Structure 1
Amino acid sequence: MITPRRYLMCPPTYFRVSYAINPWMDPTKPVDPALALFQWEDLRDRYRSLGHTVEILQPLPGLPDMVFAANGATVLDGRVFGARFANAERTAEAPAHREWFLGHGYAAVHDPRHINEGEGDFAVTGGRLLAGRGFRSSHRSHAELQEYFGRPVIGLELVDPRFYHLDTALCVLSPDRDDVMYYPDAFSPGSRAVLARLFPGALIASRADAVAFGLNAVSDGHNVLVPAAATGLLKPLRERGYAPVGVDMSELQKAGGSVKCCTLELRD
């Protein structure tokens, strides 16, 4: 039985690639805002058709990356650990997220001291939190996260700038079963060893599926919404008992984000 999830999403009303803060972004390449909106609406509607609730964060002009709602916070047990963005271009997104949570009944909202980009670098699995570092989130945010949620935090070093957030290199398929998929070469040797010890039965993604944003996916424990171009993940996901759902997010991927980047889970 699938437990209905609550997600927070932000429409790509002001989506553009007007600056470059990761290797995927190229301001010289045109972006089709209408297509980006169509793809975003398709993702939203798929969640709803699967029985999940989608809450909407209203976008603000001048913040083209606000569509990537996953970066704005980490929510666990109804408590919110806010974001503090690494790049000046995204700084104003953090207070917009904070205002949304405070206005929607969340009493415990933490304003962080250290740089972190929400679920971009933090993932919940079992009784632990996985925490990426190396390009955006500071290692100092890991201790702050652990202190706030009271759960052990496992730090993972990212070494390939194409996988600048943990959610581009690793996806939690089932927190209850401690099941994940990831791309080993995105991590340092020590972090690869940690992942192998923690998740010996993990689904290992190929380079082709990783660069197709295949790990920037969202799983509800059964359905896995995965970028459509990551075709190599479909069969192994089915063999594990999951139902992969291909989603075309190609226009939004021009800014370095896909399914997961657009989706913040509200774990109340």
Structure 2
Amino acid sequence: MLVTDPAAFLAEISSERYPVRAAATARAAFLVSPASDRLAAESAQDNRYMDMAKVPDPARALRQHAELARRLGADVPVLTFPGDPDCPDDMFPNNVFATARGRLIVGRMRHAVRRREAERADIRGFFRDVLGYRTIDLSQRDFVAELTGALVIDRARGIGYCGLSERCDMHGARAMHEAFGLNLTFCFELAPGEYHTNVVLALLAGRAAILAPDGFRDPAVPSAITQACDGRAVALSVAQKQAFAGNAIALAPDRAWMSTAGAAALEPAQRAALQRAGFALRDVELDEIEKAGGSLRCCVAEIF
């Protein structure tokens, strides 16, 4: 079922038809190492978090990325695929590749520079030939669906939160709902200028949310999401959102990860709220990678 009205979403989610039926966190993750010495000018057309005036330092980005992989390995096995110098955004693979119950899902990207990533034979082959996953290929379809950039998922209950923008339209939302096998998807418009839901909303192991209210066109949407989490939500300011505090992930039931800039932006009361929800907060320095308009969660493709 797809719903677009906050009141309808709350009525549906309170019906007790969506109990916990699956693991809330991934069993592994994969990353793609940064390999380009430039930013993707095409992506900057609708990603206001990018600053084309900033000159990337490829060596520093690679060191930060390697440290991210090492640190996340404390929670799950982490694989790293090599990056492509001709694909400046490929260090954000979760927009292009995602998994669900033995399926590899390949997204339909808005920009041509990112569509090249979807053609990678090595990632497709790993999931097909090594893990035995079935491929659901959306990459050539006539819509836009940038997977877990646009779609934030409560994996435990099979509930999706899909932000509509230039990076995901309603047809794409429906295709992702079916590809991930979700029970319920709440679709809503992001605020003008926002490109991905996972910058303004994180769901941590299905138990708590981090959200930026100004990132949603309708203020009733973040309110409804907060109610759906039984009030276990940390609301971010505009400055905290800009620092990527909303681009967080839980790869273990008791630990949340975000970049050092995002973590530093949080107030003590917000950190305490995450602790009460059962999450220890950990961070990794990613300021070089954040020049490209994404942060920690964008770097992580979960393997379910």
**Cα distance between partner residues in 2 of 1:227 and 1:63:** 23
Aligned-residue offset at 1:12: 0.5
Correspondence for 2:228 among 179, 182, 198? 198
Contact 2:57 2:288 in 1 (8 A): yes
Aligned-residue offset at 1:89: 1.6
Q: Does 1:255 align with 2:292?
A: yes
**Cα distance between partner residues in 2 of 1:4 and 1:135:** 28
Aligned twin of 1:122: 151
Q: Does 1:244 align with 2:281?
A: yes
Aligned twin of 1:32: 57
Aligned-residue offset at 1:243: 0.7
Q: Does 1:104 align with 2:133?
A: no
Aligned twin of 2:29: 7
Contact 2:31 2:79 in 1 (8 A): yes
TM-score, with length taken from structure 1: 0.89
Aligned twin of 2:5: none
**Cα distance between partner residues in 2 of 1:186 and 1:54:** 30
Change (3 A) 1:6 1:16: same
After superposition, the C-alpha distances for 1:74-119 in whole angstroms (9 at most, x for unaligned) are: 2111212211110112110112143443343343211112311121
After superposition, the C-alpha distances for 1:184-223 in whole angstroms (9 at most, x for unaligned) are: 1101214334324423412222222211001111112211
What is the 5 A alignment of 1:66-81?
66-81=90-105
**Cα distance between partner residues in 1 of 2:288 and 2:178:** 38
Q: Does 1:157 align with 2:178?
A: no
Change (3 A) 1:137 1:104: farther
Cα RMSD for the two superposed structures: 2.1
Aligned twin of 1:63: 87
> 197-206 or 62-71: which moved more?
197-206
What is the 5 A alignment of 1:42-61?
42-48=67-73, 50-61=74-85
**Cα distance between partner residues in 2 of 1:264 and 1:147:** 19
Aligned-residue offset at 1:164: 1.2
Change (3 A) 1:216 1:18: same
Change (3 A) 1:28 1:18: farther
Where structure 1 has 5 or more consecutive residues not aligned to the other structure, the ranges are none
Change (3 A) 1:77 1:53: same
Length, aligned pairs only: 262
Contact 2:40 2:89 in 1 (8 A): no
> 225-234 or 136-145: which moved more?
225-234
After superposition, the C-alpha distances for 1:130-176 in whole angstroms (9 at most, x for unaligned) are: 21211311211121122233322111211142x3101101111122x
Larger Rg: 2
**Cα distance between partner residues in 1 of 2:52 and 2:129:** 35
Change (3 A) 1:215 1:3: closer
Where structure 2 has 5 or more consecutive residues not aligned to the other structure, the ranges are 1-23
Aligned twin of 1:135: 166
Aligned-residue offset at 1:5: 3.1
After superposition, the C-alpha distances for 1:17-41 in whole angstroms (9 at most, x for unaligned) are: 1412311223332111111111111
TM-score, with length taken from structure 2: 0.79
**Cα distance between partner residues in 1 of 2:168 and 2:57:** 30
Percent identity (aligned): 28
